[in-house]
Amino acid sequence: MAKLNRRSFVKMVPGGALAAPGIAAAASSAAAQQQKQPPQPPQKVTKEALDAAEQLIGIELTEAQEAMALAGVNRNLASYETLRQIDVPLNTEPAFSFHPGLLGKEYPRRQAAATGRGRGARPPFSKQQAPKFSSLEDAAFSTALELAELLRSRKVSSLDLTKMYLERLKRYGPKLNCTITLTEELGLEQARQADAEMARGRYRGPLHGIPWGAKDLFATKGIPTTWGAEPYRSQMIDYDAAVVERLRAAGAVLIAKLSMGALAQGGLWFGGMTRNPWKTEDTSSGSSAGSASTTAAGLVGFALGTETLGSIVSPCSRCGATGLRPTYGRVSRYGAMGLSWTMDKIGPICRGVEDCAAVLAAIYGPDGRDRTVTDIPFHWSPATPLGSLRIGYLKAELEQGDAEQQGLYKEALEALRKAGAKPEPMELPKFSTGSLRFVLSAEAATALDDLTRSGGVNQLSGQAPGDWPNVFRTSRFIPAVEYLRAQRARTLLMRAMDSLMEKWDVFVSPAPASASLLITNLTGHPAVVMPCGFIKGLPQAIMFTGGLYDEAAPLRVALAFEQATPWHTMHPKI
């Protein structure tokens, strides 16, 4: 619709509107008034700019509406400019928080029988056999719980185990480009402390004395925390992240800060691309790139990663590791780089399913510094009968791909059936989930806004259209109204998933190529990813997704699959 301006209106009046005596007099008086007023400063947002912006916001204003809006838009701009001068530290979250649980719901619905309840209770893990070895390096690919049995039985010391993994990191780390900072001095100190405590009979649990690696977005006092990004490569944070504190309390030994895609995107960091131990000319994917690569390569006992939209699932799938993305709000994000406040999640990357359960048991629960964390116990019960769980599978997704891929998924379902499961076909809710994806980029652009406006993003290695610099700049044009509308639509998606999960305890899908990956990262549901075979020498993966705050169910199904298949026992030869 064409807009009517004053000039076109004048032309529409027969004989010319300004020729009318009354109108001419009024115009003369208005002109006189204008001459008496002091000149106004030019408006930064012009009518032409407002015209263009209307296409973005999806509405069309009349001339009169534009005139009224223009003053307010410029007043708002002045507020924005003042706001940008306020020093907002990077670890400052918005004055609101996201909760995946719906009002009126009690979680978890299914309570597993467990001997220990509440934080600090030690879950009942399956009995492990201490691995046999001629040299300690033969145990490098053992699970954390197998290593724990070696330590508990005093067959090896934490110090010797730590030295072995440090040596492997030095030998293979450069080839995989998976390590940013070795924390050798700290690791050796913590290992000696663990040995001394166990010698005195003080045993902190299955992670006591186990060497581990941290994705380099977790704050570590006195050690650089680089976020994998050029502008932060010398960054020192003067406190420890909550998960670093909790793993230290569990007796774990921190030996490395691991590579991550710059500002948690992909596998490219300021030192180059993180490599896949199965095929070192390939990327490990990301953004928990180093965490998956080092774990799969037997360079650490276990690692921690984070996921916002696939950053645990994707590198685990590529590298053949086992990863757990817990329910959103399970683990405190205090001291972790914020990317998307309503989507960021912290989880373990391991070589065994029960390792993931052990790490989650050590790090979950409120800490008083992250208000999104809910105080709901984690009940791990590896003896839960598989037949008692309602297990669905995304039939259409598992039947996609070539014949070889379909064959792997068919064999995976058959292995579950032989283990006692009764999987049935199901479908995801019909929802335009892709339209909500910009929630992530809007929040990420906000979190790193100072870096964008200062030009610091121009230092990042990745400068392609899909990389953060362009995403951050583009996301400045996302209207606040649309962002909030997307959050309201997200509530509808959460309701749809809640209705679906009333029927199922767990569902099975491919990984990472599943529509459920975006859906469940928006709704906050937990998932376990693990290898399910190989194609052309590279790992393929499957995913088990569970209900909110019920990580035990997908972990239990994943454990059954692990026990029924050989894939977790296969390791890369670097």
Catalytic residues: 215, 287, 311
CB 242 within 8 A of CB 259: no
CB 369 within 8 A of CB 242: yes
Q: H-helix or E-strand containing 506?
A: strand 506-511
Q: H-helix or E-strand containing 528?
A: strand 527-535
Could you tell me whether strands 268-269 and 272-273 are parallel, antiparallel, or unpaired per DSSP bridges? antiparallel
Q: Which two tokens stand for residue 264?
A: 């948690």
Which residues is 323 bridged to in the sheet?
A: 349, 529
Tell me how far CA of residue 3 lies from CA of 18, 20, 189, 343, 551, in angstroms: 21, 24, 74, 43, 58
CB 233 within 8 A of CB 262: no
CB 178 within 8 A of CB 259: yes
Number of H helices, E strands in the chain: 19, 15
CB 509 within 8 A of CB 397: yes
Cβ partners under 8 Å of residue 507, min gap 6? 391, 392, 393, 394, 426, 516, 544, 545
CB 230 within 8 A of CB 269: no
> Which amino acid is residue 193, in one-letter code?
Q
